[in-house]
Amino acid sequence: MKNFRLNRRLFLQQTASLLAVATLPRIASANAAEALKTSELVYLSPLRSDSSLSRCRGEVWFVQDGKDVMVVTRSVAWRAKAIQEGLDEAMLWVGEVGVWTRSNGRYKSLPSVKVRGRIESDPDAWESVLKLYKEKYQMSWTFWRRRFENGLADGSRTMLRYQIIET
């Protein structure tokens, strides 16, 4: 038997598969602002300096802080590195179509929005955003809370704040 390793993607896939099927048509037909209110995931791709899509893409957990989209990620992840390197614009697709590499591009049919990202370094913002994560991802937050909190504290995780610039 292969080693079993629980991760956010597997947990979310297993617990939300029925919900995803039931809500996908509603999310896909809504605009991005409305879809952000109900979606569990966003698909994210930094934009290159010529505004083309990066080859780096992925689906991530997020919360909204006002109108901003907040993401906590490993500090060595491409989404954090892109912002550190000045590539602060990105595209977000809102909804759930499974792992992006196996979606045959279906994520591109989801509501989308262009965003500008920055690293959020204010510990007060971290605290309020982590409370939003706790509310949104109640079932799995017990498992992930310490990783997010400790990671932000020790620098192994980075909080990214994305401001919507174009729908």
β-partners of residue 46 are 90
Q: Is residue 1 part of a domain?
A: no
Q: Is residue 3 part of a domain?
A: no
Cα–Cα distances in Å, from 19 out to 12, 22, 24, 38, 82?
10, 5, 8, 11, 32
Q: Is residue 78 part of a domain?
A: yes
Sheet architecture: strand order including 89-94: 58-61, 41-46, 89-94, 112-120, 157-166, 68-74, 63-65
Average pLDDT over residues 1-9: 56
Amino acid 17: pLDDT: 44
β-partners of residue 150 are none
What whole-number distance in Å separates Cα of residue 29 and Cα of residue 88?
28
CATH code assigned at 127:
2.30.110.10
The pairing of beta strand 68-74 with beta strand 89-94: unpaired
Amino acid 16: pLDDT: 52
The pairing of beta strand 89-94 with beta strand 112-120: antiparallel
For the stretch 93-125, pLDDT in tens is: 999 887 877 878 888 889 999 999 999 999 999
Q: Is residue 19 part of a domain?
A: yes
pTM for the model stands at 0.79
Range of the domain at 56: 8-166
Q: Secondary structure of the chain: what % helix, strand, coil (to 5)? A: 45, 30, 30
Q: Is residue 2 part of a domain?
A: no
Number of domains forming the structure of the chain: 1
Burial 119-143 (b: 16+ CB within 10 A, else e): ebeeeeebeebbeebeeebeebeee
